[in-house]
């Protein structure tokens, strides 16, 4: 199991179409916004987005993790 084999979605009450996708590419994490814009982030930044949801502080938000297919392009998420 490697971090790069998974995509982490933070899904808000707007649904999957409004989700933020996160995946590891090389040594960096990429965050793709609902508008398709890419952002680089550190593992610490990713964790700071995940922890409030996991702690239950944002009940209208959920985290979904999916296995990423090997042929998926790193810039295409969602």
Mean predicted confidence (pLDDT) in 7-15 = 90
Band (16; pLDDT cuts 50, 70, 90): confident
Measured from the Cβ of residue 26, the count of other Cβ atoms closer than 10 Å reads 8
Residue 23 belongs to a domain = yes
Q: What is the pTM of this model?
A: 0.80
| pLDDT, average across residues 62-73 | 78
Q: How confident is the model at residue 69 (pLDDT cuts 50, 70, 90)?
A: confident
Residue 76 resides in a domain: no
Residue numbers of the domain that contains 16: 3-67
Q: How many domains does the chain have?
A: 1
DSSP track, 28-75: EEEEE-TTS-EEEE-HHHHHHHHHHHHTTS-TT-EEEEEEPPTT--TT
* 73 in a structural domain: no
> Tens of pLDDT along 27-59?
999 999 999 999 999 999 999 999 999 999 999
Which uninterrupted H or E stretch holds 22?
Answer: strand 15-25
Q: If 0-12 CB within 10 Å is exposed, 13-18 middle and 19+ buried, where does residue 53 land? A: middle
Q: Is residue 12 part of a domain?
A: yes
């Amino acid at each position: 199991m490697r971090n790069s084999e998974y995509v982490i979605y933070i899904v808000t009450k707007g649904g999957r179409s409004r989700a933020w996708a996160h995946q590891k590419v090389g040594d960096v994490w990429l965050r793709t916004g609902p508008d398709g814009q890419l952002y680089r982030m550190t593992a610490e930044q990713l964790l700071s987005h995940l922890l409030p949801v996991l702690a239950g502080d944002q009940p209208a938000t959920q985290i979904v993790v999916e296995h990423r297919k090997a042929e998926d392009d790193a810039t295409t998420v969602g």
